[in-house]
Amino acid sequence: MDKEIGKRLRQLRKSYKIKAEDLAKRVDTSPAHIRLIERGERGTTIARFVQLCDIFHVSLDYLLAGRDSAIHETNEAAVHVLPGILNEHELQSLVALAKAISATTQSQAETDVLFDGFHEQLEFFRAVKGCS
C-alpha cells in the first residue's frame, strides 16, 4: 500500500482530532487496522475509503492520489473556523456546495476560481457574524 495514502489519512484524522479507536468504530474496523493503513502497511476496501472521504469531507481523488488540494485546504479552514461562525445547517450547506464544485469542475484552475469565490463568501459570513 502507498505510504502517502496513510500519511494523508493520519493527517486528516489528527486535524479533525479523532482518535484511531473512534474512527475505527465509524468505519467498522479495528483501531489496529486504521494504524496499519496510516503506516502504509495495509490497504482497505474502496467502500471504506469512500466512508473515510465522507467523514473528512475530501474527495477520493485527494485521499488516494493527493489531488484536489483546494478542496482539502477549504475543508481545513472549515474544520477550524466555520463551526464558530455558522450554525449546523449553514455549515452543511457549504460542505454540499464544496462537493458540488468538486464534482462539476473539469480542471484545477476552474476549481481554484470557484473556491476563490467560496472564500469570499466565508469572509462575508465572518463580517455578518461579527467575527474577525
Judge if 6 and 32 occupy the same domain.
Answer: yes
Domain count, the chain: 2
pLDDT of residue 76: 53
pTM over 0.85? The answer is no
Judge if 33 and 43 occupy the same domain.
Answer: yes
Judge if 51 and 85 occupy the same domain.
Answer: no
pLDDT of residue 22: 94
Q: Distance (Å, rounded) from C-alpha 21 to C-alpha 37?
A: 13
Of 22, 47, 67, the residue that ends a domain is 67
Q: Is residue 85 within 8 Å of residue 125, measured between CB atoms?
A: yes
Judge if 73 and 131 occupy the same domain.
Answer: yes
* Residue that has been written with the C-alpha cell 457549504 in this structure: 94
Q: Of 32, 57, 61, 62, which is closest to residue 44 (Cα–Cα)?
A: 32
- CB within 8 A of 66, min separation 6: which ones? 4, 8
Domain limits for position 9? 1-67
pLDDT of residue 6: 93
Judge if 12 and 48 occupy the same domain.
Answer: yes
